[in-house]
Chains A and B, each alone.
Chain A
């Protein structure tokens, strides 16, 4: 976890704005943002002209085949436009975006057109082009105007009428703010483009997908092994011990009250009862049947009822969640609670769970001693690892003296 504490190099314009103002102003980022917006105005305006021409001529000649071809070209114009946008994006986002398109299934122009028209990525690119043509480049222009033209007007005002000098001050301030306003809008625009243009899960490079699948397989194998151990204990050791206890019980019936043998049988039974109780705890920790049968909320209620510290539960979930999410969430919560019980000396715990849009958010709050350290123990790291397999994450706030808040998030789309 060492890397979490280190300052990471800035990869996007927005991250750069988090630098100290001097550091930011002396970096290349404001100039990159400026270049991004100026080129945005040019490409937007040019694309608008080209698009309008293609559609107008295309509609006018639609009766002839050539018009249809022109209209098709207007749609497919989104492809080079998006490619240009992806290249331009690197000005303000060093990581860039992968090309979401697949190679066509067969050689030739027809196969290429068919593949492209069937891809959702093409239509997302068309949407972005329409938004760019009708709005984005105009906003670029407006932001540039606000950054340079308006301050220039204000600053030059006192040359005509010295009494308007306060306007010049305002103009200078606006000019000083220009790098920030430019970069802020450039960052917002880049984020929008990234959201629309970035490949969806199914469009990502197949190799990358394979990696996350093998992580998921590992988790599945782990869960299967856990279930197998639980089943073996349940069907084997537990049954035998109960059977032994029954035999002892029957034996005790045959031995007269008060005899030494009776006493020994009874003490053996007591030992057996303790062993069974321990085994019961172990087995249900391994695989809570109620989680499979009745879902996360029931299982958590159950786990909480055995917890030594009073827990306030506030879980509001729409219904059953996908099985891997339920399992991960269950163990994450029980692990977090176990940490509280072991280390915090807390007198009460609050557990909040919500399903926000496509993310399951779990908060475990306690009023204990605080000072929980992810690098210190294995508990918190194990928790983070467990969530990481599902692309989830965990954050901990635990100042010495408390209170401690563990916040966990697991991606979990509806439906």
Chain B
């Protein structure tokens, strides 16, 4: 995998975490141009990149990632951001149908096991979106709180993170049947087609929330 992060401190930390889980970081770079070059030279299985990076110190990292996905369709990208930014999340999810895309807050990296799971999910072509982003997207909808119960919102946030029913059940300490019931309720309340595929339902939810 290729890693782009301008802070040396975080870059080294990320390299050691990823190494710890047996991933091979072939390039670890500090700016968006170096990221583009590194990916073009040696096509990695996944890129992990910061949003804000030199040379522009704006959303250079994100723009580079979106461009790279255009030239290498299906290249998994996990974006780490210091803060939730819906428009950035939306730009990324719109690229190549959102397959193999992740958007996580940087804070989540500390939860190393979950972070590694997210990396592997994105590399496998799934979609992972930070629950904070989902929460904000939901709060933009007119009166979603009236339609969804608190528990259903929790389930929705976990679904958007790409969790399976099994994991959701364990997290919330409820049975599989209860999770299925909640998901059924969410889909019917949000008028979404029911599907069993894990990341497709994330996309369906996000598509609904962004519309």
Residues of chain A at the chain B interface (Cβ within 8 Å) = 234-235, 238-240, 242-243, 245-250, 252-253, 269, 272-273, 276-277, 280, 283-284, 289-290, 292-294, 298, 301-302, 304-306, 310
Contacts and interface: CB of A to CB of B under 8 A. Distances in A.
Contacts of A234: 52, 82
Given A249-B110, A269-B110, A280-B82, A298 B87 contact: yes
A253 B107 contact: no
B110 A273 contact: yes
Contact of A305 (B59, B110, B111, B140): B140
Given A243-B13, A305-B140, A289 B107 contact: no
Interface stretch (B14-22, B31-39, B194-202): B14-22
Contacts of A310: 142-143
B9 interface: yes
A305 B17 contact: no
A273 to B, nearest CB: 6
Interface in B107-132: 107, 109-113, 115
Given A253-B20, A305-B140, 10 more contacts: A240-B9, A248-B110, A277-B107, A280-B105, A280-B107, A289-B59, A290-B87, A301-B86, A305-B137, A306-B136
B20 A284 contact: no
12 contacts: A239-B10, A242-B107, A242-B110, A250-B112, A253-B113, A269-B111, A272-B110, A280-B107, A283-B82, A290-B85, A290-B87, A292-B58
Contacts of A239: 7, 9-10
A298 B83 CA distance: 15
A294 B107 contact: no
Contacts of B86: 301-302, 305
Contacts of A253: 20, 112-113
B106 interface: yes
Interface of B: 7, 9-10, 13-14, 16-17, 20, 52, 58-59, 82-83, 85-88, 105-107, 109-113, 115, 136-137, 139-140, 142-143
Nearest to A247: B13
A355 to B, nearest CB: 21
Contacts of A298: 87
B2 to A, nearest CB: 19
Contacts of B137: 305
Contact of A289 (B10, B14, B58): B58
A106 B104 CA distance: 68
B112 A252 contact: yes
B106 A249 contact: no
Could you tell me the dominant secondary structure of chain B's interface residues? helix
Contact of A235 (B7, B13, B20, B113): B7
A242 to B, nearest CB: 5
Question: Which 6 A-B pairs have CB atoms at the shortest separation, nearest pair first?
Answer: A245-B110, A249-B112, A246-B13, A276-B107, A239-B7, A243-B9
Contacts of A248: 110
A250 B110 CA distance: 8
A283 B83 contact: yes
Contact of A242 (B83, B109, B136): B109
B107 A249 contact: no
B59 A280 contact: no
A240 to B, nearest CB: 7
Contact of B17 (A240, A249, A280, A306): A249
A238 B20 contact: no
Contacts of A245: 107, 109-110
Nearest to B51: A289
B13 to A, nearest CB: 4
Contacts of A246: 10, 13-14, 17, 109-110, 112
B112 to A, nearest CB: 4
Nearest to A245: B110
A234 B7 CA distance: 10
A66 B137 CA distance: 78
Nearest to B143: A310
A293 B111 CA distance: 30
Contacts of B113: 249, 253
A294 B87 contact: yes
A202 to B, nearest CB: 34
B24 to A, nearest CB: 18
A12 B10 CA distance: 66
B112 A273 contact: no
Contacts of B20: 250, 253
A172 B82 CA distance: 78
